[in-house]
Structure 1
C-alpha cells in the first residue's frame, strides 16, 4: 500500500495548489499600482522638461532630453582648424556633451568620460554635437574633434 499513499499526497498537493492560484484576480490587482508609482520617485528633482539624469542620459540627445539651453553651460573650449570645440555640461542632468561649430561636413566630434564615449558628425550644417555621457563633474569629460583633413583638437574642462 505505500504507493497508494504517495498518490494521495500528490493529489492533495495539486488541490492545494489550485486553491492558492484561484484568487488570481487579487494578485493582478496588487501588482498593478507599483509601475505607475515608480516614475514619480525620480521626477520631483528634475525641472519641467528635463527628461533624464545621470546614467539615464547616456547616449541621449541633450536637446531632446531638455538638458541643453538654460540648463547647460560651456565648461571648456578649444579650437581645431577653423572650428571650435565646446564641452557642454548640464548640472541638472549630470551629463556632458561636446559641440563642434564652424566645421565642415564629415568632421567628427567626440565626448569621452571614463569608459563612455559618444560621437557626433557634421552632416549638412557647420556644426554637430554628440549625445550625452553621464558625469559627476565637468572635469570628468573631454571633448575632441577630428576634421576630415586629419587635424585633431580637444577641449578639457579644468578640475
Structure 2
C-alpha cells in the first residue's frame, strides 16, 4: 500500500498569454475590455473610481475609470428614460441609454490614463453636456 508515495504531482497549468496578473474576478485589461460591460468583466465596484463628473440638466454624468482594467466608461444618474450617455477617449466611442430606470452606463473604452476619457450626456429635453477631461 505504498502507492501514494509513487503518485506524481499533477502538471501545473502554464499561462498561455502574456496578460498581466489580474485580481480574482477581473476578466479583462486594456484593449480586451473595449466594448465590454464593466460590471460583467469585474472592472466596477472596488476597482473603479469616478475621475470626472458634470451636472447636465438635473442629471449627473461621470467618467468611471478602472486602473486594474486600463479602461473607462461613462455613467449617467438621476436621468430619464431615453437620455443617453457616451464615453470617448478609446478607439471607438461607446454609448448607453436609460431604458427603464434612472441611470445608465456605457460599455468600456481602453485608455492609457484616466484623463484620456470624456463622458457626454444628451437628455431627451435636448440638454447636452460633458465632463472636462483632466478635471
RMSD, matched Cα: 1.4
Matched position secondary structure for 1:55: helix
Runs of 4+ in 1 over 3 A off after TM superposition: none
Unaligned segments of structure 1, at least 5 residues: 1-35
Aligned: 1:100 with 2:76: yes
Task: Compare 48-57 and 109-118 and name the one that shifted more.
Answer: 109-118
Moved more, 57-66 or 106-115: 106-115
**Paired position in structure 2 for 1:119:** 95
Q: Say if 2:116 and 2:134, in contact at 8 Å, map to a contact too.
A: no
TM-score by length of 2: 0.86
Normalised TM-score (structure 1): 0.73
CA distance in 1, matches of 2:90, 2:69: 17
Mapped to 1, the partners of 2:44 and 2:76 lie a distance apart of 15
**1:73-125 C-alpha deviation (Å, 9 max, x unpaired):** 00001011100001000000000000000000000000001442000000000
Report the CA distance between 1:156 and its aligned residue. Answer: 2.6
Could you tell me which residue of structure 2 aligns to residue 18 of structure 1? Answer: none
- Higher RCO by CA contacts (8 Å cutoff, separation 6 or greater): 2
Residue of 56, 72, 81 corresponding to 2:32: 56
Task: Please say if 1:38 is aligned against 2:22.
Answer: no
More helix by share: 1
